Amino acid sequence: QVQLVESGGGLVQAGGSLRLSCAASGSIFSINAMGWYRQAPGNQRELVAAMTRGGSTNYADSVKGRFTISGDNAKNTVYLQMNRLKPEDTADYYCKISSRSSPHSALNDYWGHGTQVTVSS
Could you report the per-residue pLDDT of 4-58, keeping only the tens digit for each?
A: 999 999 999 999 999 999 999 999 999 999 999 999 999 999 999 999 988 899 9
The DSSP 8-state label assigned to residue 87 in this structure reads G
State mean pLDDT over 67-95. Answer: 96
CA angle in degrees (0–180, nearest 5) for 46-21-99: 70
CA atoms within 13 A on the CB side of 100: 10
Q: Could you tell me if 22 and 78 are in contact, meaning their C-beta atoms sit under 8 angstroms apart?
A: yes
Question: What is the distance between the alpha carbons of residues 119 and 39, in angstroms, rounded to a whole number?
Answer: 14
Residue 31, amino acid: I
Percentage of the residues of the chain whose pLDDT score is greater than 90: 94
Backbone phi, then psi, for 88, in 5-degree steps? -70, -5
pLDDT value at 73 more than 90: no
Start-to-end CA distance of the chain, whole Å, equals: 40
Mean pLDDT within 89-110: 96
81: Cα separation from own chain's centroid: 10
